[in-house]
Structure 1
Amino acid sequence: MELGISTFAEVLPDPQTGVTISHGERLRDIVEEIEMADKVGLDVYAVGEHHREDYAVSAPEVVLAAGAARTKDIRLSSAVTVLSSDDPVRVHERFAMLDGISGGRAEIMAGRGSFIESFPLFGYDLNDYNELFEEKLDLLLKLQKGGPVSWSGNHRAPLNGLEVFPKPDQDQIPIWIASGGTPDSTVRAGKLGLPLVLAIIGGSPQNFAPLVELYKQTAARSGHKVENLGIGSHSHGFVWDTDEEAAELFFPPTRQAMNKIGRERGWGNYTTRSFDIARSPKGALYCGSPETVAQKIIDLRKNVGIKRFLLHTPLGTMPHDQVMQSIQLFGEKVAPIVREEIDAWEGK
């Protein structure tokens, strides 16, 4: 069971003080968070891409490279790279550089993007939303294999036997497909035999079990070895000493962040009741003591089949020292409980 941290590098007014830190300060905080995650033995740290005022990272590989120089073991991934509005050649080049700096620890999590600001910014038509992703993923997968590439499509110039440099340290940089939980994206990942990450941020995580089964069945029918495929999830959460203290600290920034996005997308108001339902044993919020969070992750592995879990923390803006302590507790307290229980369950 792989365990890690994900962040979107939110920059919102602190719900307690009203102060908004600079983008630069949040970026520097992330580098320290990556360092902490590596120190406490977590497996992966993943950073999202956005192009708007309330998020600090537009190029995940840049801040990941800064973290790579200060870490030894942790794998470094985007969460996600908005492939539809980027150039696959440049994506591969940048992550190959990250791979070299980190000594072979880079990963790409490719997605279509739930935020659309990058499309007008880089001159893409939202009417081509699905076609852009499929075409660019096809090129990225050809680049992943290495060697001269010949390719043509509708949304970029063709490649005629060209190679892309620099070469990564790994034979191939892993490419994960990020999905919000649609059957189409799940089937796509299964057909291609690519590892899948599900964003489970609402409802009951157990409702995603049929999607995981669909993914496995599709992969098997397409000739891929299911046991070798990565299946991950990303969920909001926060670890503290007790359930009550965790809830007290995490609710204000969670409410602020969820209501801000909710106003843009027409969601209902996020309330204390919403929060309490989400952090209950069957909910998708992993907020509580180490024991509480560990048990929810164990249930996720046993009931849904998730092999990699990313705790998205913080959600919204929280004091940096609280985020650092939460990551430390996740690595030092939660991870050993989860790994010991899963190893025993699987008979290792």
Structure 2
Amino acid sequence: MELGISMFGDLRVDPITNKFQPAQQRLGEIIEEIKLMDELGMDYFGIGEHHRPDFAVSSPEILLAAAAVVTKNIKLGSAVSVLSSADPVKLYQNFAMVDLLSNGRAELMAGRGSFIESFPLFGNNLKDYNELFTEKLDLLLKINKEESITWKGRFRPELVKQQVLPRAVDNNLPIWIAVGGTPESVIRAGQLGLPLMIAIIGGSPSQFKPLFNLYREEYQKAGHDMAKFQVGIHAHAFFGDDGDEVAANYYPLYAAQMDRIGKSRGWSPYTKYQFDYGRQREGALFVGDAEAAIDKILYAQEMFGLTRFAAHMDVGAPAHKDMMKSIEIFGTKIAPKVREALKK
């Protein structure tokens, strides 16, 4: 199982001025954090795409290109790229360049977008939410296989024998599908034989077991090679030396960000009860010390048959020094024990 870290580039709120941290400062911090992940031997880093005042990253591939030249081994991917509001041609070209800069370490994780700000920003109609993703995924997969493209759809001008350059290393860019829990998306990923990442950020992870079973069934039914089968989870996480202490310090930041997002979605205010429940073994939050995290990651791996676990680590924008500490604990205390246990 690959062990990685994902982020959205959350921006800290100044408690005195109530203003967000400058994006420039946070971007520099993220690069330092990725360098540490690479030095510690983490397998994967993913960065999300957002177009809101509380996030620093609108173009994952730009940040990944910067990371490509200061790292050596870690895989670099989006988490996610909002394919529905993007141009698949330009998206492929950008990630192919990251792949070349990183000597074949780039990945593109495509999603429909749980945040919808990019749709009006780039002139897309939310009424076409599903159709946009379906059509653009078809084009993206075609581009990934063929250099010269002839293609016609509803939402983009047609292509007639157009070359899409440059090409990814070995002419094959790894493309994942990210879902939040929609069975139709899981079925599509299985039928296409694409790696699947499921976001589990609330409730009990065991409730998602039917989706993993559905994905495996569809993947096998479509005749894809099980040796290439890849499935992962993205879960909110934060680590410290003392589990109760890190939870107490992290809760106010986490709750504040959940409430900022929740205001636009009609959510009830986030509660300490939700946080405490999430930290339990059967909950969705991986927040605490190394021993608790090791047990919980192995529990999730056994439950779902995971090939990747991504600890989403910057919800609420913890301080950079605390992020570095959390990454260090993941890389030096958690990852080695998880890998050792999985070899047995």
Fold-level similarity (TM above 0.5): yes
Partner of 1:111: 111
Instruction: Give the residue type in structure 1 aligned to 2:111.
Output: G
Matches within 5 A, 1:118-197: 118-197=118-197
Q: Secondary structure at the match of 2:194?
A: coil
What is the letter of the counterpart of residue 140 of structure 1? L
Q: Is residue 2:255 matched to residue 1:244?
A: no
Indicate if the aligned counterparts of 1:29 and 1:320 stay in contact, CA closer than 8 A. Answer: yes
> Identity of aligned pairs, percent?
49
**CA distance in structure 2 between the partners assigned to 1:16 and 1:172 by the alignment:** 49
CA distance in 1, matches of 2:45, 2:76: 5
Equivalent position of 2:90 in the other structure: 90
Say how many residue pairs are matched. 344
With 17-26 and 210-219 compared, the bigger mean Cα shift is at 17-26
Q: Does structure 1 retain, via aligned residues, the 8 Å contact 2:3–2:335? A: yes
Alpha-carbon shift at residue 146 of structure 1 (Å): 3.0
**What is the SS of the residue equivalent to 1:311?**
strand
Deviations 1:52-94 (A, max 9, x none): 1111101001011111111000000001000000100000000
Contact (CA 8 Å) 2:44, 2:75: kept in 1 or not?
Answer: yes
Match of 2:4 in 1: 4
> Is 1:307 matched with 2:304?
no
Distance 2:38 2:329 in 1: 13
The aligned counterpart of 1:225 is 225
TM, length-normalised to structure 2: 0.97
User: What is the CA RMSD across the aligned residues, in angstroms?
Assistant: 1.3
CA distance in 2, matches of 1:335, 1:292: 13
Tell me, what secondary structure is at the counterpart of 1:297? helix
Alignment of 1:314-333 (within 5 A): 314-333=314-333
Aligned counterparts of 1:89 and 1:61: Cα–Cα separation in 2: 14
TM-score, reference length from structure 1: 0.96
> Secondary structure at 1:6's aligned position in 2?
strand
CA distances 1:246-283 after superposition (whole Å, capped 9, x unpaired): 20221111111111111211112212111100111110
AA partner of residue 214 (structure 2)? L
Counterpart AA for 1:9: G
* 8 Å Cα contact 1:5-1:312 kept in structure 2: yes
Q: Is contact 2:147–2:167 with CA below 8 Å preserved after alignment?
A: no
Segments of 4+ moved more than 2 angstroms = 14-20
Q: Is the 8 A contact 1:14 1:253 kept in 2?
A: no
Question: Following the alignment from structure 1 to structure 2, what is the Cα–Cα distance between the partners of residues 262 and 202?
Answer: 13
Q: Tell me by how many angstroms 1:225 deviates.
A: 2.0
Q: Residues of 2 paired with 1:162 and 1:19: CA distance?
A: 46
Q: Distance in 2 between matches of 1:298 and 1:227?
A: 21
2:61 maps to 1:61 = yes
Residues 117-146 of structure 1: per-residue CA shift (max 9 Å, x gap): 111111011111000000000000011113
C-alpha distance in 2 between matches for 1:170 and 1:81: 22
